[in-house]
Amino acid sequence: MATNQIIASNPPTVWQVPETFKSVYSHAVEVRDVNRLMMISGQFGVTPDGDLAADFATQCEQAIDNVEALLAASGMTTSNIAKLTYYVTSASNFPELVAIRQKRWARQPAPAVTAIVVSGPRAPNI
């Protein structure tokens, strides 16, 4: 069985990724020799017992824990992540999001990443 290869693409013909972001962001990634592909639904900071912390950092850490648990349940790790999309409700959370990503998920090659600020009413409890 071949191993998936994730190859970052940051050519000199596009905006150059700052050094501080190179471990958490690539413009594009190519996945070669795909044997398995897992799609993970959007995760937010809800604990297994249904609790949701009030602060952004704790919710972010829990969402990351949830993704890692889903990967582990399928025998995968964060090294199998090729693309991430983050949605935050306040642009002021971006520095904290970057710090948490650098602490938890920094690696080479870094995945392709999109981060978007969204707004709207809070979703009802599930």
The residue type of 43 is: Q
The model's pLDDT over 40-67, given as tens digits with 9 standing for 90+, comes to: 999 989 999 999 999 999 999 999 999 9
The model's pLDDT over 79-125, given as tens digits with 9 standing for 90+, comes to: 999 999 999 999 999 999 999 999 999 999 999 999 999 986 666 76
- 20's tokens: 């501080």
Alpha-carbon distance of 93 to 117, in angstroms, equals 9
pLDDT value for 83: 94
Q: Where are the domains of the chain?
A: 5-117
The overall pTM is greater than 0.85: no
Tell me yes or no: is domain 5-117 CATH 3.30.1330.40.
Answer: yes
pLDDT range class, residue 1, cuts 50, 70, 90: very low
